[in-house]
């Protein structure tokens, strides 16, 4: 079964009507976030690679067509038109890893209107998912101020696919590893893992479990110390390390209690035992607020494992993304629904230093000192270049992060920069609204 | 590539150590929710079918083993042990659709400890996902008080897999349809769809768009009326319906503005035009609070489309699920980490009328007037019966919902019933803690 039915029924209804009426004029759809969620000062663009893969491969297979003609009741005219349909349009998009703001198009599709409409559900879903996750993870990166971060979210993401997206997007914003083995394989990331409380409990004593782990575990060994009594656990680990002198980088993991205080006591115990190279790893329901507090307090923690609240972007689990028809044939279009008026026409964002952006009509000349944010990534249904890599996306994120205004980067009550419209875009919006209001 | 690497690295580390040491005693792991999220008075068990499918098919394929021996550095002993590993354990679980509370096991696995450990990440992920979604959807069902509900969430769920899970779990709790075409095909649900604002905008006038839709659209026709001016849009739809007299059930959809007021005006306009069979459908960022308010206000709305906030369970996007080792070999086990002390041993929940539950040791005799909630669903790696159907799950949900105490069912500040432990379970917990504290 193909992926063409990964869509809302109304997309098929509309597309069938367009195809039947031979409405084939080029349409431009613009995908953007209407408003940032409370608590977000910026977003990190992500999800484009998966979207391009979807567009390249789009087709209805025989099983899809049978379902459309059978249970869904589409007639032969519609089914025949769907059979031949491929995506032959152009796509402009913001490259993955770049920092963006509300109202800025993340992606624009120009294609015969039926094609553009059929892509809506998947494109919205994917861009929303990855941009939501990348933006949450970026806040952890800022809070960690250079400490290592590891993705620990797999067990409570919204499915396996979402877990892969967390691993991918955390890598874009600079996490050093993931606990997710499949994601590590798929994206070439470092897999990281320690032990669970169950491992300790399966042995007759904690010390016995530490000995077994020191002997059996390949590579980096991080001992979980809080199963019964954290300080006692740290002392026992120190003893086992001194006795067995295991290979590979070594660490302890704190997963409950007062992490700052336990990290200090742990550092002290380890240092006194001559184990100053043993690192301290913290986990246990952490989010960017906890990380910030621990770093601020000077807790001697070397790395943080970040799980559930990152993995579902708990404080802002979705974005107010839309995929709007902004031009059809020769006309710029818009809707006038209360609170949902959108600017018409294909757009571009011109960016100056300090992420100083202006929202413009696509074909305006580039103002001096600015560069265009949206790039042509697909022409006539084919990518304009090879797939982007995570390294490239990460480099783009690092560059934009270093240029992000402090007010937007702030963890609490951030203030995103204003993104003004160019004169031409304002004039187009005004003219379109007046035409539609008649 | 198989699904065996859909796991956290530490599961593999621990399993390899157990296998190397020939630690093959049966272990019991218990999957439950420690605490309900704020605002939840109950949960709806879901996700079991996918878990059983995963367990039945579990195996490492050659590509998986190559990744383990290569990049991950597992040695030949570990890789050979993984090659032969299948899931041969027993599973007890709460059937899908049943209402459950905190601390009640949703699923318990008894298997050689390495096997049980390797299943942790997937089982947690899946049960958390579907139980989170089903529980959110159940709140919409209660708020709607018999009005129809349709899943509209696909565009902003956390991926396609999550969208399928929303469609599936909303069907369990009584939604009548989904906009998600692939889910409708996969689960045999009714697909529902109307039109988007873009369809209206693609025509020279709204009236022209309504005419085209009336002519082209198969089956149920729901006209979106708020693109430019809602009341005008309703009048235009009424005119088009009167003129063209289209086939199939008819409706209008309100997607913005004051839905209660617009529904009243819409009902009035339609009724005066002799169109009292035309239904009114409402959507636009709704959740159970909005639905409750609209139903409470007596708005003449026949059905609600519920999207994003349902699809990500926005107010409670995750559950505090855990998968705890509760017995190994002859010993009941537990951890003593601050705030995370868990009850040891395999368990059962005995339920009386009014969802009056007692948490017990698995093999306690069934108290009079109560029935066991957990069922044996897998023995020695094989299902004890055919896969459950959504109809069965829905019937279980309907039965439990009719028996749910009002305090737990309440939308705001619900109070879940207390679930006491039996004397035997309390005594076992006390004895285990004392043994571990030494």
Distance in Å, alpha carbon of B124 to nearest chain A alpha carbon: 5
Question: CATH assignment of B193-311?
Answer: 3.20.20.70
* Contact residues, chain A, for B212 at CB < 8 Å: 17, 21
pLDDT of residue A248: 85
Give the C-alpha separation, B381 to B52, whole Å. Answer: 9
Q: Return the pLDDT at A2.
A: 82
- Tokens at A341, concatenated: 């008026």
Q: Pick A155's closest partner by Cβ from B124, B334, B339.
A: B124
From B157, B182, B318, residue closest to A314, measured CB to CB: B318
Cβ–Cβ gap A256/B338 under 8 Å: yes
Q: Which of B7, B184, B337 sits opposite A227 (nearest CB)?
A: B337
What pLDDT is recorded for position A220?
A: 84
Q: How many residues does chain A have?
A: 438
Neighbour tally for A341: CB within 10 Å = 13
Which CATH number applies to A9-133+316-437? Answer: 3.20.140.10
| Residue A336 scores a pLDDT above 80 | no
A8 Cβ contact partners less than 8 Å away, ≥ 6 residues apart = A120, A121, B152, B154, B155, B179, B180, B181, B193
Exposed / middle / buried, residue A404 (Cβ in 10 Å: 0-12, 13-18, 19+): buried
* Strand pairing category for B90-93 and B375-379: antiparallel
How far does A357 lie from chain B, in Å, by closest CA?
27
Mean pLDDT of B175-184: 98
Chain A closest CA to B202's CA: distance in Å? 6
In CATH terms, the fold of domain A144-311 is: TIM Barrel (3.20.20)
**Segment B358-365 mean pLDDT:** 96
CA gap A60, A67 in Å, rounded: 10
Residue B82 φ then ψ, to 5°:
-65, -35
For B271-285, write each residue's pLDDT tens digit. 999 999 999 999 999
d(CA A145, CA A125): 31
Q: Give the pLDDT band (50/70/90) at residue A433.
A: confident
Does A335 contact B201 at a Cβ distance shorter than 8 Å? yes
Average pLDDT over residues B348-377: 96
Q: What percent of chain B has pLDDT over 70?
A: 98
Taking CB atoms and an 8 Å limit, are B8 and A179 in contact across chains? Answer: yes
Domain ranges of chain A: 9-133+316-437, 144-311
Instruction: Check residue B219 and give its pLDDT.
Output: 79
The alpha-carbon gap from A176 to the nearest alpha carbon of chain B, in Å, equals 15
Which of A283, A281, A288, A284 is closest to A313 using CA atoms? A288
Going by the DSSP 8-state scheme, the letter that residue A3 receives in this structure is S
Instruction: Look up tokens 């579990």; give the residue.
Output: B58
Q: Does position A58 have pLDDT exceeding 70, yes or no? A: yes
Predicted local confidence at residue B116, as pLDDT: 98
Characterize A283-315 residue by residue with b for buried, 16 or more Cβ atoms within 10 angstroms of its Cβ, and e for exposed: bbebbbebbbebbeeebbbebbbbbbbbbbbbb
Percent of chain A at pLDDT exceeding 90: 90
Residue of B nearest to A198 (CA): B325
Residue A324: count other Cβ atoms within 10 Å of its Cβ. Answer: 24
Q: Would you say B262 and B230 are in contact if contact means Cβ atoms under 8 Å apart? A: yes
B340 pLDDT tier (thresholds 50, 70, 90) = low
Residue B435 pLDDT grade (very low, low, confident, very high; cuts 50, 70, 90): confident
Q: Which of A172-186, A342-356, B95-109 has the lowest mean pLDDT?
A: A342-356
Contact A196 B6 (CB under 8 A): no
**End-to-end distance of chain A based on CA atoms, in angstroms?**
47
* Separation in Å, CA of A248 to nearest CA in chain B: 12
d(CA B203, CA B9): 54
Cβ-Cβ contacts under 8 Å, A216 against chain B? 16-17, 20-21
How many alpha carbons fall within 13 Å on the CB side of residue B265? 16
Q: Are B191 and A158 inside 8 Å of each other by CB?
A: no
> Cα–Cα distances in Å, from B185 out to A13, A65, B222, B275?
16, 12, 21, 32
3-state secondary structure of A148: strand
Per residue in A100-145, pLDDT tens?
Answer: 999 999 999 999 999 999 999 999 999 999 999 999 999 999 999 9
Write down the mean pLDDT value for chain B: 95
Q: Where are the beta strands (DSSP E) in B295-346?
A: 303-306, 321-328, 331-332
Q: Is the pLDDT of residue A338 over 70?
A: no
Q: Coil, helix or strand for B112?
A: strand
Query: Which positions in chain B touch A321 (Cβ < 8 Å)?
Result: 155-156
Residues of B in contact with A16 (CB under 8 A): 216
Q: What is the mean pLDDT of the segment spanning B154-183?
A: 98
DSSP tag of B149: E
Instruction: Return the SS3 of A44.
Output: strand
Residue (of A118, A184, A188, A123) closest to A151 by Cα position: A184
Q: Inter-chain contact B227–A337, Cβ cutoff 8 Å?
A: yes
CA distance A354 to chain B (A): 31
- CB–CB of A198 and B338 under 8 A? no
**∠ CA(A245), CA(A251), CA(A257), 5° rounding?**
135
pLDDT at B41 over 90: yes
Set of chain B residues whose Cβ sits within 8 Å of the Cβ of A196:
10-11, 14, 117, 120
Interface-testing mutation among A7, A13, A325, with chain B (most B C-beta atoms within 10 A): A13
The predicted structure's pLDDT at residue A139: 98
Token pair 């902004």 is at which residue? A326
Pairing outcome for strands B250-254 and B221-224: parallel
Averaged pLDDT score across all residues of chain A: 95
Q: What does the block give as tokens for B269?
A: 């306009």
pLDDT per residue over A218-250, tens digit each? 778 999 999 999 999 999 999 999 999 988 899
Task: List strand residue ranges (DSSP E) for A188-313, in order.
Answer: 221-224, 250-254, 279-282, 303-306
Distance CA A87, CA A31 (A): 17
Structure letter (DSSP) for residue B389: P
Contact across the interface for A159 and B10, Cβ inside 8 Å: no
Distance CA B27, CA A246 (A): 28
Chain B residue with CA closest to A67: the answer is B185
Cβ-nearest to A73 among B21, B152, B219: B219
**Whole-number Å distance between alpha carbons of A413 and A76:** 55
- Alpha-carbon distance A219 to nearest alpha carbon in chain B (angstroms): 8
The chain B residue lying nearest A191, using CA atoms, is B9
Our CA-based measurement puts residue A353 at a distance from the nearest CA of chain B, in whole angstroms, of 32
The pLDDT of residue B333 is 82
Are A132 and A119 in contact, with CB atoms under 8 Å apart?
no
Contacts of B183 (CB under 8 A, 6+ apart): B151, B154, B163, B164, B166, B167, B168, B189
Interface test with B, best of A53, A110, A111, A201 (most B CBs within 10 A): A201
**Which residues in chain A have their CB less than 8 angstroms from residue B198's CB?**
14, 27, 29, 117, 324-325
Specify the pLDDT at position B337. Answer: 67
Q: Is the pLDDT of residue A28 over 90?
A: yes
What's the whole-number mean pLDDT along residues B367-387?
A: 97
pTM of structure: 0.97
pLDDT band (50, 70, 90) for residue A337:
low
- What average pLDDT does range B391-399 have in this prediction? 98
Across the interface, of B159, B256, B334, the residue whose CB is closest to A339 is B256
Chain A residues closer than 8 Å to B154 by CB = 7-8, 121, 125
Which of B75, B107, B119, B198 is best to mutate for the A interface (most A CBs within 10 A)? Answer: B198
Q: Which of A1, A163, A339 sits opposite B125 (nearest CB)?
A: A163
Q: What is the predicted pLDDT for the residue at A372?
A: 98
Q: Which residues of chain B make contact with A72, given a CB cutoff of 8 A?
A: 181, 191, 218
In the numeric block, the tokens 């992920």 are attached to: B125
Nearest-CA distance A371 → chain B (Å):
31
Q: What is the ipTM of this complex?
A: 0.97
Instruction: Give pLDDT tens digits for A162-185.
Output: 999 999 999 999 999 999 999 999
Query: Cβ distance A98 to A40 under 8 Å?
Result: no
Output the pLDDT for position B341: 61
Mean per-residue pLDDT, B227-246:
95
Distance from CA of A410 to the nearest CA of B (A): 23
The span from the CA of A377 to the CA of A106, in Å, is 12
pLDDT tops 80 at residue A339: no
C-alpha B228/C-alpha B200 separation (Å) is: 9
Cα angle for residues B46, B92, A205 (degrees, 5° grid): 110
């Amino acid at each position: 079964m193909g992926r063409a039915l990964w869509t809302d029924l109304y997309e098929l209804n509309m597309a069938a009507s367009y195809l039947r009426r031979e409405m084939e004029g080029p349409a431009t759809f613009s995908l953007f976030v209407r408003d940032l969620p409370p608590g977000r000062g910026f977003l990190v663009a992500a999800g484009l690679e998966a979207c391009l893969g979807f567009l390249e491969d789009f087709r209805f297979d025989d099983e899809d067509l049978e379902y459309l003609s059978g249970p869904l009741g589409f007639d032969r005219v519609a089914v025949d038109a769907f059979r031949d349909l491929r995506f032959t349009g152009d796509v402009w998009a913001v490259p993955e890893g770049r920092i963006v703001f509300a109202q800025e198009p993340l992606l624009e599709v120009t294609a015969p209107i039926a094609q553009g409409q059929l892509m809506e559900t998947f494109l919205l879903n994917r861009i929303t998912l990855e941009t939501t996750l990348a933006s949450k993870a970026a806040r952890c990166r800022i809070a960690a101020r250079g400490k290592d971060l590891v993705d620990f979210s797999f067990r409570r993401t919204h499915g396996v696919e979402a877990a892969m997206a967390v691993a991918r997007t955390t890598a874009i914003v600079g996490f050093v590893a993931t606990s997710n083995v499949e994601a590590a394989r798929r994206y070439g990331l470092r897999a990281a893992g320690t032990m669970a409380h169950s491992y300790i409990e399966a042995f007759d004593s904690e010390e016995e479990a530490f000995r077994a782990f020191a002997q059996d575990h390949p590579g980096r060994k991080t001992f979980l110390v809080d199963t019964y009594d954290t300080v006692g656990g740290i002392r026992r680990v120190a003893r086992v390390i001194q006795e067995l002198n295991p290979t590979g980088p070594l660490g302890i993991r704190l997963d409950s209690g007062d992490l700052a205080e336990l990290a200090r006591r742990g550092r002290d115990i380890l240092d006194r035992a001559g184990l100053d190279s043993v690192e301290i790893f913290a986990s246990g329901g952490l989010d960017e607020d906890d990380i910030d507090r621990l770093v601020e307090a000077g807790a001697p923690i070397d790395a943080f494992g970040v799980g559930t609240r990152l993995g579902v972007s708990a404080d802002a689990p979705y974005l107010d993304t839309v995929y709007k028809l902004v031009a059809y044939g020769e006309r710029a279009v818009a809707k006038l629904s209360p609170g949902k008026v959108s600017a018409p026409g294909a757009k571009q964002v011109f960016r100056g230093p300090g992420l100083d952006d202006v929202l413009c009509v696509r074909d305006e000349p580039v103002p001096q000192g600015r560069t265009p944010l949206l790039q042509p990534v697909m022409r006539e249904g084919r990518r304009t270049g090879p797939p982007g890599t995570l390294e490239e996306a990460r480099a783009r994120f690092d560059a934009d992060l270093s240029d992000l205004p402090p007010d937007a980067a702030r963890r609490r009550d951030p203030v995103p920069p204003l993104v003004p419209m160019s004169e031409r875009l304002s004039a187009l919006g005004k003219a379109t609204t007046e035409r539609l209001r008649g």
